[in-house]
Copies of this chain bind each other. A is one copy, B any other.
Amino acid sequence: MENIVKVFKGTGFSSLSAQEIEILENHLFCIDGKGMIVKRLAPSDSSYQSTLQAAKDEQKLIELKEGQYLLPGFIDLHIHAPQWAQSGTALDIPLYQWLNTYTFPLEAKFEDTAFAKKVYAHLVDTLLANGTTTGLYFATVHEEASYLLADICARKGQRGLVGKVVMDDAEQNPADYRDEDTESALADTERFIQRVKALQAETVQGVYPVVTPRFVPCCTDEALAGLGKLAEKYDVHVTSHCSESDWEHGYVKERFGKHDTQVLNDFGLLRDKSVMAHCNFLSDADAATFKETGTAIAHCPISNAYFANSVIPIKQFHEQGVEVGLGTDLSGGYDPSVYSAIRQAVISSRMLEDGVDTKKAPEERGTDHSRITVKEAFYFATVGGGESVRLPIGRLAEQYAFDAQVIDTTVAQASMPIFDENEPLEDIFQKLLYLTKRENIVSVWVQGKQINE
């Protein structure tokens, strides 16, 4: 027990594959000083009793109460941090107008770091309270405010992957909200990478700089090429938007005569640690490129209903071998909870499978073999997200970070409908995913450390 600093005892759920969950009934999760799960023991394991006793003796045991369950912390692969200030509003116009009418003016305000601090601190607290232990963030074009976001993640204990957004094309972006020029966009990004890498060394859970061209329409060719080189030079994560809507997909086709995927790949932006949001209009060839390059899709089902003009065939892309995680896409999606993204991912996939138009005959209405189960959506929110960003997170398993949320099914006013003492754990798992409200999440742990203790 020397290297073990905490032992959790309780029932947890973790994905084995997209189709299968492990039900870890009354398991012990032994955490070391670096916040890793170094040992996981089932009651049938020979060292279970001795480990349990030692944990008790050494006062290292944390025992879940009756009605409490452990899930991996969620990984939100697509968050526009500044847009948190307008979440729940501004959902009435299409993407292009939305950016220019609401979003760019709001993001411009983040030059003011005092304002940024207020919004970002509130957002990170909110996401943690909702069980999101890792977040992949777009900040704004401002280097200082972007660094501030990484710093807030570092201090609050969330695993943050943060991008200073690049929007350098003077003709495509508003005069008061863009990079000064291509050169400064690249220089700011490089300095940002260096600063966040330095900050990273000060944290247990890790914060990571991300190369972040907003999307192809906002960037010059030179910026895209330069960012591809920076990604390679520093071997950092890359994120952007890809083939999101009819308008955006069409714009790129017109400018380059090819799809976003090929453009991004040609500029060196599709790499092993790349995560592209939306990707609704990927062709099969695009999906193959994603698979080959190790690029993941951040599927954002709520936002897609407002801005993507379609439902992504996520089941198909995943079966083709593309990595998939989930994103809230605040504020294109209004809801900070990955639970809501899980639920909408299932619902949207069913609408793709069954179709929507009652005027059509059933066989012409939908697209067979499109729906995903809640287990698959859970997999995307945990294992899929972890693999997308190449970090050992998303499973309650050995050699993974102890990122976890404790769900209490019995809290006042939000207790779950569990009336059978012997309700199968398989059903409990489904109830956790469909019925957990914020207040059921009674504690959240990142890299072995409790948040908001």
Interface on A for B, CB 8 Å cutoff? 84-89, 91-92, 115, 118-119, 122-123, 125-126, 129, 246, 280-281, 302, 305-306, 309-313, 334-335, 343-344, 346-348, 350-352, 354-359, 362, 365-367, 373-374, 413-417, 419-420, 427, 430-435, 437-439
Contacts and interface: CB of A to CB of B under 8 A. Distances in A.
Contact of A419 (B118, B281, B358, B374): B118
A85 B431 CA distance: 10
A63 to B, nearest CB: 23
Contact of A435 (B335, B356, B419): B335
A358 B87 contact: no
Nearest to A311: B356
B344 A351 contact: no
B355 A313 contact: no
B439 A438 contact: yes
A355 B358 contact: no
B438 A414 contact: yes
Given A119-B417, A347-B302, A88 B435 contact: yes
B89 A305 contact: no
Contacts of A119: 417, 419
A417 B310 contact: no
Given A305-B350, A347-B344, A87 B431 contact: yes
A435 B358 contact: no
A416 B92 CA distance: 20
A313 B358 contact: yes
A260 B204 CA distance: 62
A85 to B, nearest CB: 5
Contacts of A359: 367
Contacts of A86: 417, 427
Contacts of A358: 280-281, 310-313
Q: Which of A123, A358, A419, A431 has the most CB of B within 10 A?
A: A358
Nearest to A358: B310
Nearest to A83: B417
Contact of A433 (B88, B352, B432, B433): B88
A87 B347 contact: no
A367 B357 contact: yes
Contact of A92 (B310, B334, B347, B373): B373
Given A84-B417, A119-B419, A354 B437 contact: no
Nearest to A430: B89
B347 A356 contact: no
B439 A413 contact: yes
27 contacts: A86-B417, A88-B417, A88-B431, A89-B434, A91-B430, A91-B434, A118-B419, A119-B417, A125-B413, A126-B415, A305-B346, A309-B354, A309-B355, A309-B366, A310-B356, A310-B357, A311-B358, A313-B358, A334-B343, A334-B435, A344-B347, A351-B356, A352-B357, A356-B356, A414-B439, A437-B439, A439-B439
A133 to B, nearest CB: 16
A356 B419 CA distance: 38
Contact of A417 (B87, B351, B362): B87
B367 A89 contact: no
Closest 9 CB pairs of A and B: A88-B434, A88-B431, A311-B356, A305-B347, A334-B434, A88-B435, A309-B354, A89-B430, A129-B413
A357 B246 CA distance: 12
